Amino acid sequence: MHINLYMFDLKAFRKDNNITQIAAADLFGCKQSFISDIERGRRTIPDAYIDILCEKYGTDINDYFITNNTPTVNIEKATVGSVMQGDHNKHKGNINIASEQAAVYETKLDEANAEIERLKSELAKAKDKIIDLQQKLIDRL
């Protein structure tokens, strides 16, 4: 099963930078409907588009990455300098780090769920023992 750990909030980026969908489509060389599909979550923004935004607007784009529910994963900031120096794959490396962190959290979650089940079992045994003791007390009276 593949889990998308991050999304880029293109709509928020556009609004904050006063860019229309048509202008974004022109910038990326695609159709306006493709931009709309990205913003509706029907398509994932291509890495090349993120690189273009970073290079053109000189903005720290990390604030526009949103994680997919829990666990919250820290993604290193993609900087304009790294893109201009030709390090276009920096954010891909960050996704690998995020995937590794997610795997650790998944393991911890599995361990926590196993501990919850163990405690439920102990609680059920303790409850049965209390019921037995209550019955013995009633029998004595």
pLDDT digits (tens, 9 = 90+) for 32-43: 999 999 888 888
Return the C-alpha torsion angle 17, 21, 27, 31, nearest 10.
170
User: For residue 68, which of 36, 93, 105 has the smallest C-alpha distance?
Assistant: 105
The span from the CA of 96 to the CA of 100, in Å, is 6
Percent of the chain with pLDDT over 70: 71
Q: Which two tokens stand for residue 110?
A: 């599995």
pLDDT digits (tens, 9 = 90+) for 62-119: 777 776 544 434 444 444 444 444 444 555 555 666 677 777 778 888 888 889 899 9
DSSP states of 108-135:
HHHHHHHHHHHHHHHHHHHHHHHHHHHH
Residues in a beta bridge with 8? 65
Q: Which two tokens stand for residue 24?
A: 């974004």
The predicted model scores a pTM of 0.45
Question: Is the pLDDT at 5 greater than 80, yes or no?
Answer: no
**CATH class for the domain made up of 6-140:** mainly alpha
Measuring CA to CA, how many Å separate 79 from each of 18, 42, 44, 66, 107? 21, 27, 21, 17, 31
